[in-house]
Each structure stands twice: as structure tokens, then as C-alpha cells.
Homo-oligomer: A and B are copies of this chain.
């Protein structure tokens, strides 16, 4: 067994609501061949499953150690960066990176904490809400006439790029900023939402468009921990519900 934690050990592969257990097994195999081991499964339709085991071949250990989560947010707890795989050019505010561009950046982030690669379900992909949880978009430069990679094949390509980047040392030198973790950033969004509803600026019946724009904005700028504290301080200070019942020290 390995004694030291390598950058690849800090990469989570998150399969969001996978439909076919065979793809889960094949993804585990793809990961292990490239030295990745941390599989997270969000609400898989069937797991564990004999077909998953068969397709995993010699990577049964990756399946056995997989973490099953109820939601994508749960799978991202403790990560500092989440990258979403997307096969469609949607109305993305973030320009998608190629796997080759993304891999060294993801590895560099492992110096700060765990990173996640998030793969959507086989046919439906990731919803806009799920994309909003991610700060990086990755698109495999596929044939525009047929861009539909199998789920495990996409995992293979990304894992391969990560391994290759780690082998050739293509990790950019970057002063490790004191970036906020995803939970802290989610805390900011939750705080924004609460305060904006309280102020009447956000209609709680249809919060999506506004929250989406906010998330995009902060995904582009990347928040430091101190900035999170500042934002939350501002939000607390502006919260109408906090003002109404006057506290002792106000």
C-alpha cells in the first residue's frame, strides 16, 4: 500500500445519479488504471450491483470503498474546487476548459484540499442547479456530429489527463491563496438568499435566475476565506430580520 498521499489521491470522481451499474463499474476500472481511487456516487439507481462488479474487473476495491451520497452537495462537502463535465455548449457563463487545460489546474488545487470531477447522468447530464455547484466547466473536444461519450469513457479521458499531467509535472506554480472551501461558499449563497428574500428583492417562489447569476459571479472571481467572512458580515449587518427585533448590542 502507498504511504504518501499524492495529488491523485485528493481527486474525487463524482457520478451524479448514474443510471447503469455497468457504467459505475467501468468508471471504477478507468479510475484505477490511472491511479485514482476516490469514487463518490450520488443517488445511484442500482448499487451495489453484480454488473458493476463485473465491469470493474480488477478495480473492485474502488467500488467497495465508494461513498454513496444522497445529494451532490453532500458529495462535495470538504472539497475546495468542483469541476463539472459538460458535453453541451449551454448558456455557460464560465467558458469551458478542455481536459488538457483543466488537469494541471485541478492538480494545483489539490495542494489546498480535495477537488471533485462531477459527471452527470448518462442521458440527462447535469442540471443547471447542479452546474451551479461547480466552479469550473470542462468539455471534452468531441466530434460535433456525435459528442456522446459513454460515461466511463469520459471518466477514462479525464483520469488519463490528470495522470499525464501529474507525470509530466504540468502543475502550474501558484501561490496557494487562502481560498474558501465549497461549504463556506455555499454558506454565502444561502445567506444571500435568506437576506434577499427577507428584503423582498428575491421572490422565494422563483429564486433560480437570480441565484444562478450570483453563483456565476462568484465562481468567476473565486472567493478567499477572508472575503467570505466579509460578505457574511455585510449580509448579517443588512439582514432585515435581524434588525427588526432589536438586540441588546444594537
Contact = CB atoms under 8 A, between A and B. Distances in A.
Given A157-B156, A157-B160, A35 B143 contact: yes
A82 interface: no
Interface string A140-180: 11110011111011001100100110010000000000000
A30 interface: yes
A26 B29 CA distance: 15
Contacts of A232: none
Nearest to A141: B167
Contacts of A30: 149-150, 153
A57 interface: yes
Contacts of A148: 29, 33, 57-58
Contact of A156 (B29, B147, B149, B164): B149
A211 interface: no
Contact of A152 (B32, B34, B141, B153): B153
Contact of A146 (B26, B59, B157): B59
A59 B146 CA distance: 8
* Total identical chains: 2
A40 B142 CA distance: 22
A163 B141 contact: yes
Contact of A26 (B35, B153, B157): B153
Contacts of A156: 149-150, 153, 156-157
Contact of A143 (B34, B98, B142, B143): B34
A216 interface: no
A225 interface: no
A100 interface: yes
A124 B59 CA distance: 19
Given A26-B153, A29-B150, 4 more contacts: A34-B142, A143-B163, A150-B156, A157-B157
The 3 closest A-B pairs by CB, nearest first: A35-B143, A153-B156, A33-B142
